[in-house]
């Protein structure tokens, strides 16, 4: 097996996957900390900290950080999620040491220069404005807030303009010290890598992260409800959410298969019924997003205002019908799609490094692909139907809708899911 894992005395985990046929490597540091870990007055600070990591350290200016990586043909990036934040790079195998040096430098010695902070506040305020102008993104922000009201897991990762403008170096350092601890860090690398080299580099360069694991965020509570906002748009953008299951729930693969059958591709029930047969929309899809202690099944569609009520009636009917009538053929097709997606991802060193890091954070160990495939194969017609029925019965739906009209009726129709389950 090409995957190797080392747990350092500090608690930091190093995991690698050697791909000898490659000449490049993808590597990064994943932190088990995201927007869920923020206090109310810190809304958006995880994302802000991720931006500021590239704005200079005690050893490098922001320009030097970019130039050193690009001078060897590499690239450097980062991303913030609800429960994790990642900083990663892709380089030639000869430059792995440089990549780890830069990654550790931006996390252990950020300068948090006041001028850079002021500039980045404006950048992120512009980013928030861009989401406000993109209804098919904004509707998901409202869906998350409606599903988990008044909770960190329900807040936008970007924060608000007011909270972003309130951040300073002192608050950034306090958040960094509270949440970036070795037991919550994973250094992952895949491609042309030597495990012992990555371990040695990580042990030396990430030694500044000490202390016990950060406190766990508050448990999530899926509440449901409806949010509508009338806007001068060409379409109504609708997002529907139902309480899903946590990452380690035994039924997660059955629920993912159910979501795939319902709205996972061109052959899915929703695509065929709503778009192909009725012509009610251009885009419609379903998904399941899992967190540490909960999950959310989501569905999105964009349609003309006049068609919104009919579209929602069809969606509600299809969800309820699928929970009782999914067929063996549909299950086989969904499982084939899921397995192909998993195996195709193995061709990317970046995807492999990210997958390993997330498995360490969620399961505490790398999960062999054979084990994942076996879990997908174990899904049956009855287990997928049961996952669908449990999804409908578990909670009141959450609905978010933006558009010119027809919003309230579409939201009210979604409540029929709960009524059917009752």
13-18/185-191 β-pairing: parallel
CA–CA distance, 18 with 53 (Å, rounded to integer)? 28
Same fold, 3-205 and 225-421: yes
Q: Maximum CA pair distance of the chain?
A: 62
The CATH label, of 3.30.830.10, 1.10.645.10, 3.40.50.1370, 3.30.360.10, for the domain at 3-205 is: 3.30.830.10
Q: How far, rounded to the nearest angstrom, does the alpha carbon of residue 226 sit from its chain's CA centroid?
A: 23
Per DSSP, the residues of 36-85 read GG--GGGTTHHHHHHHHTTS-BSS--HHHHHHHHHTTT-EEEEEE-SS-E
Averaged over 69-98, what is the pLDDT?
97
pLDDT at 412: 85
| Statement: residue 411 has pLDDT above 90 | no
- The residues facing 185 across adjacent strands are 31
Integer Cα distance of 300 and 141 in angstroms = 12
Structure tokens at 227: 């949010």
Q: Is 50 noted as a catalytic residue in this protein?
A: yes
Active-site choice (50, 83, 201, 354):
50
Identify the weakest region by mean pLDDT among 280-289, 294-303, 383-392, 400-409: 400-409
Neighbours of 23 (CB within 10 A): 11
The C-alpha atoms of residue 11 and residue 183 are separated, in whole angstroms, by 4
What is the end-to-end Cα distance of the chain in Å, rounded?
49
CB 55 within 8 A of CB 120: yes
| Closest of 68, 46, 47 to residue 57, by C-alpha | 68
pLDDT digits (tens, 9 = 90+) for 348-375: 999 999 999 999 999 999 999 999 999 9
3-state secondary structure of 180: coil
Q: What is the pLDDT of residue 346?
A: 86
Q: Model-level pTM? A: 0.94
The fourth-level CATH superfamily of domain 225-421 is Metalloenzyme, LuxS/M16 peptidase-like (3.30.830.10)
Q: What is the DSSP letter of 215?
A: P
Instruction: Report the distance separating Cα 222 and Cα 153, nearest Å.
Output: 10
Mean pLDDT across 234-254: 96
Mean pLDDT across 210-228: 92
What does the pLDDT average to over 124-149? 96
Given a cut of 70, is residue 321 above it in pLDDT? yes
Query: What pLDDT digit, counting tens, does each position of 141-155 carry?
Result: 999 999 999 999 999
The residue ranges of DSSP E strands in 319-420, in sequence order, are: 398-403
Q: How far apart are CA 297 and CA 290, in angstroms?
A: 8
How many helices and strands, by DSSP H and E, does the chain display?
17, 11
Q: To the nearest whole number, what is the mean pLDDT of the chain? A: 95
Average pLDDT over residues 331-353: 94
Alpha carbons 301 and 284: distance in angstroms, whole number:
4
- Asked if residue 192 lies in contact with residue 22, where contact means CB atoms within 8 angstroms, the answer is yes
Q: What's residue 171's pLDDT?
A: 97
- pLDDT tens profile 375-386: 999 999 999 999
- Nearest one of 157, 256, 199 to 5, comparing CA atoms: 199
The domain limits of the chain are 3-205, 225-421
pLDDT the model gives residue 395: 82
- DSSP code at position 110: B
């Amino acid at each position: 097996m090409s995957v190797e894992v080392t747990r350092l005395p500090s608690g930091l985990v190093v995991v690698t996957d050697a791909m000898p046929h490659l000449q490049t490597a993808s590597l990064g540091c994943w932190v088990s900390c995201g927007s869920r870990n923020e206090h109310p007055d810190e809304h958006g600070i995880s994302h802000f900290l991720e931006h500021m990591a590239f704005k200079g350290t005690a050893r490098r200016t922001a320009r030097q950080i970019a130039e050193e990586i690009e001078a060897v043909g590499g690239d450097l990036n980062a991303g913030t999620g609800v429960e994790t934040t990642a900083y990663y790079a892709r380089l030639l195998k000869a430059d792995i040491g440089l990549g780890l040096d830069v990654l550790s430098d931006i996390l252990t010695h950020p300068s948090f220069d006041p001028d850079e902070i002021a500039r980045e506040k404006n950048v992120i305020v512009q980013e928030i404005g861009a989401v406000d102008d993109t209804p098919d993104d904004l509707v998901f922000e409202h869906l998350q807030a409606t599903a988990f009201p008044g909770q960190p897991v329900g807040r936008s990762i970007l924060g608000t303009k007011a909270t972003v403008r309130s951040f300073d170096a002192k608050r950034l350092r306090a958040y960094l010290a509270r949440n970036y601890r070795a037991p919550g860090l994973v250094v992952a690398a895949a491609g042309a890598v030597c495990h012992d080299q990555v371990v040695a580099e990580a042990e030396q360069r990430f030694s500044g992260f000490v202390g016990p694991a950060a406190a766990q965020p508050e448990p999530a509570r899926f509440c449901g409800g409806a949010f509508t906002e009338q806007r001068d748009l060409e379409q109504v953008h609708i997002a529907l959410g139902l309480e899903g299951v946590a990452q380690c729930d035994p039924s997660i693969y059955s629920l993912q298969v159910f979501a795939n059958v319902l709205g996972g591709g061109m052959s899915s029930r929703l695509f065929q019924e709503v778009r192909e047969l009725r012509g009610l929309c251009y885009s419609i899809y379903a998904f399941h997003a899992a967190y540490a202690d909960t999950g959310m099944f989501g569905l999105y569609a964009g349609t003309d205002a006049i068609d919104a009520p009919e579209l929602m009636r069809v969606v509600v009917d299809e969800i309820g019908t699928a929970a009782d009538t999914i067929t063996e053929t549909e299950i086989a097709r969904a499982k084939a799609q899921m397995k192909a997606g998993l195996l195709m991802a193995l061709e990317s060193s970046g995807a492999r490094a990210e997958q390993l890091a997330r498995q360490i954070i969620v399961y505490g160990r790398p999960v062999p692909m054979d084990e994942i495939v076996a879990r997908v194969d174990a899904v049956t017609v009855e287990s997928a139907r049961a996952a669908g029925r449990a999804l409908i019965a578990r909670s009141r739906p959450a609905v978010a809708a933006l558009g010119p009209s027809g919003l309230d009726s579409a939201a009210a129709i979604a409540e029929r899911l709960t009524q059917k389950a009752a």
